[in-house]
Structure 1
Amino acid sequence: MAEDFPKLNGTGEELTEKQLKWGYWFTAHRLQLYKGLIWFFIIFDILLGGYNLYSWGDYLFFGYFNDQKLLTDIRTSSLNFQSLQEHFAAKPIVVEGSVSFPLGDKTDALVLLRNPNNNFFVKFDYTFLLNGQVLERQSSFLLPGELKYLAQLGIKGGGEINFNLVGTSWHRISTRELVNPQKFIAERLQFETSETQTFREPYNHLTFNVQNNSFYNYWQADFLVLLKNYETIIGVEKLALDNFNAGEKRPVDLRIEGGLNPNNIQLVPDLNVFDEAIYKR
């Protein structure tokens, strides 16, 4: 009879009693396990949804206003940074005043400029204008903190004279390279005049001495000579002294306009002391 049934090939392993009990328990409780898993996901979704609702509510009532405050603080910080930049940036050149001196069919023009920055050197272009007409474009500079006259002589014609700055290029003087720019400048611009006299024969002219009291030799020292009656400026001339050495006293004979009779002069140096090319070595 047993021969009527085919032989079944097993796995070669027999189930233990523990495995049989586990299989029976799992089969008997499979429905409960399925329901428990469903309830787990339901509770998880409820908790997750509740947390999301709490987070959105917290943002709507608190976070949104905190973000707005943060944006305001950022804008304020940006404005403060801009103000800080403006505070440390170079202040513009100040035009202190101008004057013109009619001399027959010509006019001499004089303007006073000031660099309000003690740690900035500036190069710039400028023009004078006669009755609104732009004259020759010229270049100059201002040392840190310098109060300086510029002049244009022999302008043909008469009328209203104006001054216009065309462009500026600022250069910060680093304190690591130069601790005291004012001292540096003062040590190099030590010039003194003496024995000033005015003569009308054989032509109208001034004689005076210029002494270089600095320790520096210059290839060419340029000056404006302001002609004064006491403290009032009545005219202006230009002066250039070649090979002007330290300690040297140089006699000057300067021709001036016939109608002028100054009793005083002021010598205004026009030397870029930061340019190494001006010094004789």
Structure 2
Amino acid sequence: MIMPKKEETAAPKLNNNLKSYQPVEGPTNWQLSFGLWWVQRRALLRRVLIGVMAVVSLPLLAYGLYGLGYYFYQGILADRQLAYNLVTATGITHDFIVRRGPQNLTIGPVNILSSAGSSYDLASLAYNPNNNWYASFDYSFIVGGNKTAAQPEFILPQEKKYLTAFLHTGVRTATTVVSLTDIRWQRLAVKESEDIGQTIKERTDISVSDIKLDNSGAERGLPINSLYFRARNNSPYNYWEADFYLVAQAGGNVIGINKYRLEKFYSGETRTVNIQWPAKLSGAQITVSPSINIFDPDNYIDFELGPGQEK
């Protein structure tokens, strides 16, 4: 009778012993089975791990060799050029800063316009030639060496507006000039300035109609005129303040100027304005131009339906 070799029956006996094993304080059957599985296949798993690492490492090694070769071929020359540019580059000059900064406001000659009694009004046309710079400032007129009281003002990009002083008394002089102080420039964000023209057009959409000038007072010898016009806020915003410049022209020349301010001007609202204008304006053509500080967040009135200003 041929007896089986001892080593051929060792594994089945071991498996049978594991199945019949009842743990008391030692490892569980599952832990013993996993340990046996690990010991029997450890060499195979090691070879699989080495193969996976080789597959991952070879592309990385190839990419590293490529990068090293590229650096020796072109990178060294690029580094030398960069170092040369840093050494020879010119610094930021005053001319460069000036070119990047805002252009100065254009201030026209001062118009001296007759007003009530012996007083007169002063007006000078200001223009902001910048596309994406908004300015706020103080201004005054220097008349014969005397300076009028300073007044705050703003001007939007590409806006034209009159700087004014009303009912001034004293000797009239042709050397009257405008003095600007405390000019504060605000550059609009790049994203906003790309369409700043449309933004200004949308937010200053104020239409003026039915302009009527009544000179009946002047016909009775009284230098009093009555001016009527209607203003409508077509923009989707409510404003605390909206200025209107009233310019009277005859023969292409400015003969009178006035300024009127509407308060609490709501979106979609139409307001009728009636003002008394003490000046000699017979036969004059009247132009009414609105001016709203759309870049002052405090000039917006919140809508009652929500926290924002836009409908």
Residue in 2 that maps onto 1:185: 200
The amino acid across from 2:181 in the alignment is V
1:115-151 Cα shifts (integer Å, max 9, x gaps): 1211111121211122121110122112122222111
Q: Secondary structure at the match of 1:186?
A: helix
Q: Distance in 2 between matches of 1:235 and 1:170?
A: 30
Normalising to structure 1: TM-score of the pair? 0.67
Which one of 226, 233, 239 corresponds to residue 205 of structure 1? 226
Residue in 1 that maps onto 2:248: 227
The Cα of 1:113 is off from its aligned counterpart by 1.0
Equivalent residues of 1:234, 1:262 under 8 A apart = no
1:270 aligns with 2:283: no
Quickly say closer, same or farther: Cα 1:241–1:116, change in 2 above 3 A. Answer: same
Q: Secondary structure at the match of 2:99?
A: helix
Quickly say closer, same or farther: Cα 1:114–1:101, change in 2 above 3 A. Answer: same
The Cα of 1:102 is off from its aligned counterpart by 2.5
1:80-159 matches, cutoff 5 A: 81-103=93-115, 104-159=117-172
Residue in 2 that maps onto 1:248: 269
1:17-55 Cα shifts (integer Å, max 9, x gaps): xxxxxxxxxxxxxxxxxxxxxxxxxxxxxxxxxxxxxxx
Q: Secondary structure at the match of 1:77?
A: coil
Q: Distance in 1 between matches of 2:279 and 2:243?
A: 24
The amino acid across from 2:148 in the alignment is L
Q: Which one is further off, 197-206 or 240-249?
A: 197-206
The Cα of 1:153 is off from its aligned counterpart by 0.6
Q: Distance in 2 between matches of 1:188 and 1:92?
A: 25
Q: Distance in 2 between matches of 1:189 and 1:245?
A: 12
The amino acid across from 1:279 in the alignment is Y
The Cα of 1:233 is off from its aligned counterpart by 2.1
The amino acid across from 1:92 in the alignment is N
1:161-180 matches, cutoff 5 A: 161-180=176-195
1:196-255 Cα shifts (integer Å, max 9, x gaps): 222234652111212222222212212221123364321111111122222222111111
Quickly say closer, same or farther: Cα 1:77–1:133, change in 2 above 3 A. Answer: same
What percentage of residue pairs aligned between the two structures are identical? 28
1:28-107 matches, cutoff 5 A: 74=88, 77-78=90-91, 81-103=93-115, 104-107=117-120
The amino acid across from 1:270 in the alignment is S
Equivalenced residue count is 208
Q: Secondary structure at the match of 1:176?
A: helix
Equivalent residues of 2:204, 2:291 under 8 A apart = no
Residue in 2 that maps onto 1:260: 281
The amino acid across from 1:190 in the alignment is D
Residue in 2 that maps onto 1:43: none
Equivalent residues of 2:246, 2:257 under 8 A apart = yes
